[in-house]
Structure formats: structure tokens, C-alpha cells
Structure 1
Amino acid sequence: MHKYIPILIISLLIFSSELIAQNLNLEIIGSNDKETEVIKDLNYNKTHIDFNSILKEIDSLQNRVAKSGYIENNIFALTKLNDSTHLSKIHLGNKYKVIHIYFEKNQITSQSIKRITDNIFDSFFVIPFEEVENTLSFLNKEIANQGFPFNRLRLSDIKINNENIISARLIINNGEPKRGLDKIIVKGYEKFPKSYLKRFLKIKPSKTFNIDDIKNKVNSLNNLRFANQIKPPEVLFTKDSTQLYLYIEKANSNTFDGYLGFSTNENTNKLEFNGYLDLQLNNNFNYGESLKFLYKADELEQKTFNANINLPYILGSPIGTELELNIFKQDSSFNTVNQKIKFFYQINSKTRFFLGLDTVESNNLLESTNITQFNDYSSNFYTAIYNYEDRKNFNNRYQLKTLANIEIGTGSRNYLETNETQNRIIGETHHILNLNNKNSLFIRLEGALLISKNYLENELFRFGGINSIRGFQENSLLATKYGVLNTEYRYQLSRNIYTHTIIDFANLNNEVNSIKQNLYSFGLGFGILTKAGLLKFNYANGKSDNQKFKLNNSKIHLSLTSVF
């Protein structure tokens, strides 16, 4: 057996020498120092594993040089300096800085060309030579979006006019007649409201097929609470038709929201409870409609009932309507009935504009006629509302990323058989600023202004509580003018748990009682995403300018929002 050992050793040495073979080096120079500097700036790969890799790198460099304007470049030498180094010499020649591209007006519009260059003339346009490839790619997409998805572009009749200018003719082969969109087929959620295809997504059969426009419109589904896009749209081209397939699933969008709050009564030192129930039913009839019901009772013996119905795209038209009934009762003092009717137009997937009529009737329930704190009155307001909603994934912890709602109303109030002109402004906006995956900021602004010669207490704005300035009793603050700033710094502890700070500020102006004051609130809160829904806990302590912080003024709010 020993006679085989020398053979084995020799074989191992030969195999090892192949394993440790050194890499090959490539150096490329130009015909002069200036050309060499140009080549160096292209940052070509100088180290290669074999000779074939060197040839590919030289070929790649030639293409890059040509695209930059040196279309006459050529290799005039490839020399092996030693076992590991190869030298290539390339003559770049003249650099052509611009190109004149001639086109046919009946094949491409001047508007498309103006999107890439301002140097456009009657029959040709001028671009930097380095932009030829990007320009052809852009024009190809433009023509495809004009109903010719199978078009082909190329440059022909390439001529050199002088040392710096080159000309060519743009040849467009559309391949087939212009295509339109003939049919739209929804897969997954076959009962998806047809009016939403036409009015919300603005996708409908048309004479011109534009796939980029369709993709942008389908992305609007991200702002729709009752449907999700499963996968990107697909197109089926046949000889005589074009069919669009949309893949959509119906999403759970009904919500049940409720909370329980408790605090200590300042007079009796007893624990008091309050809360509300908020039910929203969305798209249960596959029409895109929404129904909302709210019932609220608090420790101040205030009761609120609100019902709202929103019907979009009536009879397939772009107009929708919204009806609302609100009943408010203050113990046995007075009640107020507010009825609203609004018509709205969906400008785009995020923006709506409303015009409406708002009627209010309030009645004094006190038997004693000597008490004039509350008064019978009725009022009518004509309103205009701007609404903007940028919705994140509906199943996320926070349903809206950005909200802006501004209402302007003008009308009159009838009191003691006297009409008095009134104007009002009501606004709310909020935004979530994501700092990173774990940290975010929530900022919310809310305010209202009533302009009138005289004011009645039972027509004042009421605010305060978990959905306003926290740390105060629900609807305990009355104002003719107020503004609230809510801020939260939110930190994501885990996928299902987050915590946040509470820093709120409000300015209150009450012309009836001649009160002007600033309000402050500080606290902490957290949210837990459970199988039942999002459970939120808030602890906040509020005070006014003339008060000190007291623990017995703190408010604790618990709420649970379920999606089903």
C-alpha cells in the first residue's frame, strides 16, 4: 500500500494549487490621459476569477461608455502583461452630448414629450444623449397608457451631423388597434358595491386602457374600511376584448365601542360611574352604507342619544346623503333635539364635501317660571363641511392616520319670538407621526366658535372627557368658544401592547357666565389588543389656572373597541 502514497501526495498538491490559484487583474486605459480619467470614473471591476469574466467586464464597460455619448468607442488592444494582469486599451472617440429625435405627430403627443424636455420643436425634440434609454422607456409607458400596451419603440436612421450632435428617427410600432377597457370582474368579494367601482375607485369601462392609472386607483382601497385588496389587479387580453380582474375581500368593519369611567364626587366623596356605548354597522347590506348608534350617560345626569345613517352614491349617482338625530337631556332641566340632513360629494378616496341643514329645538323642563337659566328656543343652520380621512389598515390599532373635519354654519335662532342671526365654526384635526416602528406622536386639535349677539346656556358647546380634554368629567365644560390640544407620545411595548403619555391643554371662553380660563391635563395610558378588541386605559388629572393638582380630581377611563 505504501507505493500509492507518493501518487496520492502529488495529486493533493496539484489539486491544492488549483484551489489557491490567484485572481486575475484587469486594467483599462484610454488613448490619452483624458480618456483614461473618464474610464476610471466609471468604476469598473478590476479583479476577476477567470479570463471570461475579464471579457464580460470589458463588454459591459463599452456599453456604459456608449450610453454616456461615446458611441464610436472601440478596443484596439488587449494585452497580457504577466500571469495575473491584463491591460485593455479603448479609444473613446468623440462624445456626443445631445441627440435630436424626430417623431410623427400622429403617433405621440407633444404633451408627453414636454414631460421629459422643454426643447421641443415642430418635428423633433432634443435631449442629453445620456438620457436616451430613460426617455425611450418613459415614452413607451406613455404610449402604453394611451391604449397600446403592446407597442414597441426604436431609434432608426441614426446620423452624425457634427462633432457634438447626433440625430435619429423615433419609430413606433403599436402592433394592434387601440385597446379600451371592456369589462371589470371582481373576484373574492363578488358583491362589492358597483357604485364604489365607478364613483370611489373611478374605474369603469372606457375607450382607453391605462394600466398605471388602474393600479393607482385600486390603491384607493387602502382608504376603504370594508374591503381589502388581496393581490394586484390582472388583465386578460383577448383578440377583441380587454378584461380587468380585481381581487378584493370583504373586511370586518363593524365596531362596538364602550367605556366605563369612575371618579370621586367632590361633595359626597363617593365613587361615581359613567360610560357610553357606540355601535357602528358598516356595509352590512353590501351597499357601502353605515349606521351609527351612540348612547351616553355620565355622572352629571346628562344623557345623549345619537343615530346616524350614511348612504353613499344614491341611485348610482356621485351624490350621497347623511341623516342624523341627536337628543340631549340634562337631568330634569332641559332637553335638546338636533336633526341634520346633509348631501355630500366624494371628491376622491380621501376627501368629501358636504352641504346640509341643521335644525335645533331646545325646551326648558323646569316647572318654576322664575328660573331663567335655561330657555326654550329653536334654530336653523345651513352648513358646509370639508372632510379629509387618510385611513391606515382598518384592523390596526389606530384606524385613522390623518383626519381633518371643518364645518362652517350660518343661520338664525328664534327666542321669545325674536330671530337673531348666528354663525358657527366647528373643527377637528389629528395626525399620527410615526418616528419609527416603536415610537410615534399623536397630535389632535379640536375647537368650536359660536358667534351671536346674545347667548343661552342650553345652546353652549359642551366638551370634556375621554374624547376631549381628559381628566375632566364628560361634557362638564360649557363654552361659546373653546379649543383643545391633545398630545400623546406612544411607545410600542410589544405587538399587542402600547403605552402613552397624556398632555392636554384647553382654552375656554363662556360669554354667558363671563368665564375665561385655561385648562391642563396630564396622565398616562396604555392599550392592549385582545381577542375581544382594543382595551384602553387612561389615567389623567386635570386642573384650571386657579387650581392645584389634586389626586381626588383624577379620572380613570376604560374603553373597549371591538371589530366584527
Structure 2
Amino acid sequence: MQKTLFLTLIICLFYSSKVICQNLSLQIYGINKIENQTIDSIGYLKFHKNYTSITNEIDSIQNKLYKIGFIESTVSEINKENDSSYSVKFNLKTKFYTIYIYYDKTGINTDLIKTVSKKVNPLYFELPIAQIERVLTFLNTKISDKGFPFSKLSLANIKTSPNGIIQADLVVNSENQKRHINSITIKGYEKFPKSFLKHYLKIKPDQTFDLTSIKKKADQLNNLRFAKQIKSPEVLFTKDSTTLYMYIEKSKSNMFDGFLGFGTNEETNKLDFNGYLNLNLVNNLNFGESFGLQYKSTQGDQKFFQADVNMPYLLDTPVGLDLQLYIFKQDSSFTTVNQTAKLNYQINSKHKLFSGIKTSESNNLLNTTTTNSISDYKSNFITIAYQFTKPQYYNFLFPVNTSIFLETGFGNRKTSVTSEKQTQLNMDVFKIFNFNQKNSFYLRINGSNLVSDSYFENELSRFGGINSIRGFNENSIFATSYIFINTEYRLLLSPTIYIHSIIDLASFENKITNTKEKLFAYGFGFGILSKAGLLKLDFANGKTNSQKFKFSNSQVHLSLTANF
């Protein structure tokens, strides 16, 4: 008895599951074999959960047939074969391949039509049937971008002919009045500098309304350090006005950077320390301005102070102003003071041009000297520069993907007895090659060249250390010209931790001492992003071409960059 009951339950469960899971089947066919092949080539869903799904599938097939040229196709009533099977019959009729669309030149520009059709006549243009929907959508978008956001395109007076050609009239329905931006409202960061809307994003009142262009321009907000877009722009239309709403959030853009380096002094065989501080304040007055302050004390009793001020879009013009003061002191040998004033013009969010003047004055602090390598002088240069920046702000560790800075200066240097023409060339370029989310390669090329008939030690370029070629003391190398290459293979261990290799190469020339040398540095490092900022540690060993590897020449560089 129990066995019989058990078998009965199994049968009931099996049967009920079949009923619950049973699908409705649909069979679609044409009036002949060729039509059946056409329908099968389109493909359709044969099994459905309910009757509504069947009717939706039939409508979908008919729309697909219309798009490929069977615009006169008809469908029979749905036939119920049994409780779970349905069938329907299509009559595809004639297939049309080409449509002649007649248009009015006052409603749509002929040049615009030529972008979508190769066969344009004064009265009509030709299109393959399969392209009708795509082309009408494209034309409507272009008309909308010209300040008519409510424009609609449709085909009327459709006529067919036996030779597979359709004729139709293009009807353009749009507002009589062209839409312009009447006002712009900022939400979230109400004190966002309006000059950046006008000159950086190039969005301003009375501009022709083009929502596609506005959204692309608004995305450039993410290229700014002090602001970002939190929501796509929205538009409020009234009968006689158009109001654009932009959603912006203020970002933490102030930065404090510092590092501590230490290594063994070859002369005293003692541990030497050097340090570096960098403070950068951005947009604290809500004008997009920036102020930078740097101070460095390095091995060899070198000290330098630098202050930078950037004021964009002066007096609501597209021109900005950059000012810089640079003071360098080499122990008790000399001091050099550089002053720079540049006007800048931001072409767009990535490209920037500079032009200005640079003056230098250096004083020999030695009371007596047996060499002419250090001398008092004054110099003046006219400078021209170009900057390109491509950000990747989705990456908190490496927010800039590509940076290019090129500068040249033409001027002269005067001493108490001579005057010489000089040329300065400077380059700083880096690029991050992202292989995938965890692996990337960093490449930086930096170079400088001073062209002159004679040289003084106190006007030479100085490099070496964590911001140039690692494994060497800060600013320990003097050169009339140099170029160095930094490379790092980076492996992301987590969103906030990475490790990297260090392979640096450099070549420099000092025409005062008739020295040409190649430098190499090898090592490794890591970075950790915490609430306090980005902590980086680099361990590198540097050597010249003629030196042998010595572990005692290794340098450890620590730096901390904090945003607030």
C-alpha cells in the first residue's frame, strides 16, 4: 500500500511539473518555399510562456520584414492548432530595395543630405530600404543640434512601383523659433567660477541649444582638479525660454607633498639627509586660481625656494596669468633668482599655450676665486611653451595618463663686460600605457639644453633625485644639456597599493668641465594610498658609465602627497 502511494505521488509530481513548465509553440510560415526561407533567415522565437509573448513576437517579425523591404507584407489571424501550439501565415509580397525621398530645401539642408546619400538630386535622394530608420534618426539629431530640439521627421505620401522602388515625401516638423540657452543654473557647487563655463567648457547664454554638444563639453569638468560632474546636464523648456541645469561638485584639490631621503656620504662615510616640501592650494577663492610653494634643502648645502601663482581668465577673458619666483643658493658659492611672468591661453581642456618673459640674476658669493666658472650676470628671455594633459581621474593612484610640456626661450645674458645671445630648450613628457586593470608601464622623458658661446656654473641646469634620475643625490648633477628617461613597470596589488620597478637612464654634458657622462639607476618601489595621502618609497642604486656597482651608493627616497 505504501509503495503504491509513493509511486502515485512521484507520477503526480512529474506530471504537474510538466504542466507548469510547458511552453507554447509558435510556427511562422509563408505562402511558398522562398518566403519560408526568408522568414527562417530572419529567425524568430518558437517557444513562449504565454499568448502575449506570441503576439509580441509576431509584431517583431513584421517590423523586421518592413525594415528589409517587405513593406506590403500581411499576416493572417493566429491559428490555434491545439492547447499548446499556434501558427501564423505571412504573405511577404513584393520586396522593395530602394526609396526615393523627395525633400524641400527650405526644411533641410542639401549638404546635410549629402552626408547620408551618395545619390542626391535637386528634388530627391536615394537610399537603400534597410537604411531608412538609421538615416532619419541621424538627420533628426542633426536638426535638433541646430537649436530645434523638438523636431520630428516622417515620410508621407508613400507610393510603390512594380520595379522595387518606393517614393515618399520627407516631412520636417520643427519649431518656428530657434532655441538658445537663456540661462545656466549650477546645482551642487553654486560658487563654481562662471568664467570656466564660458572659456573652459565654452558654454554660455545666447548660445544655440545643442544638447549633444553640451553633454560632451560637460564631461570635460572631470579634467579639472577642483570640480567634477555628478550628473548629466538637464534642460527646462518653457514657451519662450530654455534653462540649462548643470550638476557640479567641488573636489579636494589642495595638495601637500614631502619626502625624506638619506644615503651614505662618500667623503665622510656618514649618513646624509635631505628634504623637500611642496604646498599647492587650488581654488580656495572659487576663481579657479592656484598658489604653489616649494622649499628644498638637499645634500651639498643646496637650498631653493619657489612660489607660483596662476590666475585663469583675467577680467573674464580667455587669457590667464602665471607668475613665478625662484631662488636658489649653492652653499657659499652663489645665489640665483629667477622671475617669470607668462600669459596663457587654454585652447580646450587638454591644450594650453604660454608666452612670456623670464629674468635671471645671479651673484657670486665667493670673495676670492681662481676660476671664471662662477660670475655675476643678468639675463632676459622671451619664452613660448605648449602643454598637453590627458587625465584618467577614475584612477586615484595615477590621475594623469599623458602629459607633454615643451618650452623654448630666446634672450641674452649680460655681465659687467660681455653680452651674449642664448637659447633655452626644455621638455618634460610622460605617458602611462595601461595593459589591463592591474598592469601598466610608465615612461617619462625629460630634457634641457642651454645654447650659448660660453657658460657659467651658476647658470647650469641641475638634476638628480626622486623627481629626476633616482639613485643620486638631489640636484647633485650640473649640466649644460641633459636628458633622462624614467621607466616603471607597475603592478596593482589592490585599488590602493602598487609596486613597481625602477630603471632610469640619463645622458648629460657639462661644457665647462668638458664632461660627457651616462648614468644608470636600478631599483624598486611601492606606493600606498591612505586617508593621509599617497605614500611612496623608492629604493634605487645609481652609477655612472665608468663606475662599478656599489651597494653603498643606494638611495632611499620617501615622499607623501596629501590632498585636502
TM tier, smaller: over 0.9
1: distance between equivalents of 2:30 and 2:484? 70
* Structure 1 stretch displaced more, 290-299 or 233-242: 233-242
Q: 1:233 to 1:339 in 2, by over 3 A?
A: same
Q: Which residue number corresponds to residue 307 of structure 1? A: 307
Amino acid at match of 2:475: N
Q: Which residue number corresponds to residue 192 of structure 1? A: 192
- Give CA deviations for 1:69-127 in whole Å, capped at 9, x if unaligned: 12122336976777766554433333322222222222222343233333333232222
2: distance between equivalents of 1:282 and 1:10? 75
SS at match of 2:494: coil
Q: Which residue number corresponds to residue 177 of structure 2? A: 177
Q: 1:562 to 1:21 in 2, by over 3 A?
A: closer
- Give CA deviations for 1:10-44 in whole Å, capped at 9, x if unaligned: 99589727625643444434444444333222222
Q: 1:14 to 1:496 in 2, by over 3 A?
A: closer
Q: TM-score, normalised by structure 1?
A: 0.93
Q: Which residue number corresponds to residue 264 of structure 2? A: 264
Task: Trace 1:331-350 onto structure 2 (pairs within 5 A).
Answer: 331-350=331-350
- Give CA deviations for 1:416-474 in whole Å, capped at 9, x if unaligned: 53222222211111122222222222111111122222222222211111011111111
Determine if the alignment matches structure 1 residue 246 to structure 2 residue 273: no
Task: Trace 1:195-344 onto structure 2 (pairs within 5 A).
Answer: 195-344=195-344
Structure 1 residue 316: Cα displacement: 0.5
Task: Trace 1:419-458 onto structure 2 (pairs within 5 A).
Answer: 419-458=419-458
Structure 1 residue 481: Cα displacement: 1.9
Structure 1 residue 540: Cα displacement: 0.7
Q: 1:225 to 1:13 in 2, by over 3 A?
A: closer
Q: Which residue number corresponds to residue 522 of structure 1? A: 522
- Residues 258 and 559, structure 1, Cα contact 8 Å, conserved in 2: yes
- Residues 373 and 512, structure 2, Cα contact 8 Å, conserved in 1: no
SS at match of 2:436: coil
* Structure 1 stretch displaced more, 327-336 or 364-373: 364-373
Determine if the alignment matches structure 1 residue 555 to structure 2 residue 551: no
- Give CA deviations for 1:329-388 in whole Å, capped at 9, x if unaligned: 111111111111100111001111011111112221111142322122222211110011
SS at match of 2:112: helix
* Structure 1 stretch displaced more, 325-334 or 513-522: 513-522
- Residues 535 and 558, structure 2, Cα contact 8 Å, conserved in 1: yes
- Residues 313 and 319, structure 1, Cα contact 8 Å, conserved in 2: yes
- Give CA deviations for 1:272-319 in whole Å, capped at 9, x if unaligned: 000111111111111111111110110121111111111111100111
- Residues 94 and 163, structure 1, Cα contact 8 Å, conserved in 2: no
Q: Which residue number corresponds to residue 146 of structure 2? A: 146
Q: Which residue number corresponds to residue 488 of structure 1? A: 488
2: distance between equivalents of 1:359 and 1:43? 76
Q: Which residue number corresponds to residue 165 of structure 1? A: 165
Structure 1 residue 51: Cα displacement: 4.9
SS at match of 1:148: coil
1: distance between equivalents of 2:459 and 2:421? 14
- Residues 341 and 356, structure 1, Cα contact 8 Å, conserved in 2: yes
Q: 1:520 to 1:35 in 2, by over 3 A?
A: farther
Q: 1:162 to 1:373 in 2, by over 3 A?
A: same
- Give CA deviations for 1:216-243 in whole Å, capped at 9, x if unaligned: 1111101111112121111111122111
Structure 1 residue 142: Cα displacement: 1.6
* Structure 1 stretch displaced more, 461-470 or 137-146: 137-146
* Structure 1 stretch displaced more, 516-525 or 27-36: 27-36
Gapped regions of structure 2 (runs ≥ 5)? none
1: distance between equivalents of 2:30 and 2:432? 56
SS at match of 1:467: coil
- Residues 152 and 175, structure 1, Cα contact 8 Å, conserved in 2: no
Q: Which residue number corresponds to residue 136 of structure 1? A: 136
In angstroms, what is the RMSD of aligned CA positions? 2.5
2: distance between equivalents of 1:58 and 1:317? 61
- Residues 464 and 476, structure 1, Cα contact 8 Å, conserved in 2: yes
* Structure 1 stretch displaced more, 233-242 or 28-37: 28-37
Amino acid at match of 1:287: F
SS at match of 2:179: coil
Structure 1 residue 391: Cα displacement: 2.5
- Give CA deviations for 1:178-224 in whole Å, capped at 9, x if unaligned: 22110011122111111111111111012521111111111110111
Q: 1:147 to 1:82 in 2, by over 3 A?
A: same
1: distance between equivalents of 2:348 and 2:275? 36
Q: 1:53 to 1:226 in 2, by over 3 A?
A: closer
Q: Which residue number corresponds to residue 537 of structure 1? A: 537
Q: Which residue number corresponds to residue 500 of structure 1? A: 500
- Residues 260 and 557, structure 1, Cα contact 8 Å, conserved in 2: yes
2: distance between equivalents of 1:10 and 1:280? 77
Q: Which residue number corresponds to residue 409 of structure 2? A: 409
Amino acid at match of 1:146: K
SS at match of 2:58: helix
Q: 1:308 to 1:30 in 2, by over 3 A?
A: same
SS at match of 2:353: strand
SS at match of 1:493: strand
- Residues 113 and 120, structure 1, Cα contact 8 Å, conserved in 2: yes
* Structure 1 stretch displaced more, 116-125 or 263-272: 116-125
Q: Which residue number corresponds to residue 385 of structure 2? A: 385
- Residues 253 and 281, structure 1, Cα contact 8 Å, conserved in 2: yes
Q: Which residue number corresponds to residue 73 of structure 2? A: 73
